Amino acid sequence: MPRYRLLIEYDGRPYHGFQAQAGLPSVQGAIERAVKAFCGQTLRLQAAGRTDTGVHATGQVIHVDLEKDWRPEVVRDALNAHLVPEPIVVLEAQVAPEGWHARFSATRRRYLYRILNRRSPPALEQGRVWHVKKPLDAEAMHRAAQVLVGHHDFTTFRDLGCQAKSPMKTLDVAAVRREGEHVFLDFASRSFLHRQVRSMTGSLAEVGVGRWTADDLKAALEARDRKACGPVAPAEGLYLTAVEYELLPRANN
């Protein structure tokens, strides 16, 4: 039974997160229905990460085990045809190497948070950015973000409903940059706690508007207390942009 690696892009606004939920629209449910329509097979796909309600992806990775040996381009195009009019697209399909798993083979996940920093609200980007009216000091945010890099107890930036066994995580990248009216926050780690990125982003925004200093952010991290977290950034600005693997499937298309 061949395993296919699929690179997925989606707009998270219409869905109650990635994971399938009974009676609620989900990205996973939409893709599994497309597989059923394509080849008649009922299956449960596996994903590199489960994004929350309203969170987007430009680089989500999933795998499906199909009973028939299809050409990868056929799988990609057929699923896209059956996903219309869902805001979900299969960008790429490849046959995965033996033993490869979308979730367990992943070595790093990358997230991007997008902030529109101007007085006027978004028109074209509504639902795809966090609109912050007050001027943000992106350089101060970047300097402060460096206290988050490394191996830490991230309890402060962990949602109370998080089911991870441990709050200990290693954050490889925390970078903030401005491009015109936009402020972008990049984060990379092998794995993240539930709402960790949105929690860190909200606290960094406190630095950006001048309510917090880098020392305040460091104190919040060291408090290991959810109550020390700043406001949690909304879901609409968050994107899963890439999943990295030591052993990448060879392109077949």
Q: Supply the residues annotated as catalytic.
A: 52
Strands 150-153, 168-179: pairing is antiparallel
Nearest-5° Cα angle at 13, 10 to 19: 70
Cβ count within 10 A of residue 179: 8
What is the C-alpha separation between 33 and 226, in angstroms, rounded?
38
Strand segments, DSSP code E, in the chain are: 3-10, 46-47, 56-65, 88-95, 106-117, 130-132, 150-153, 168-179, 182-189, 238-245
CB 58 within 8 A of CB 12: no
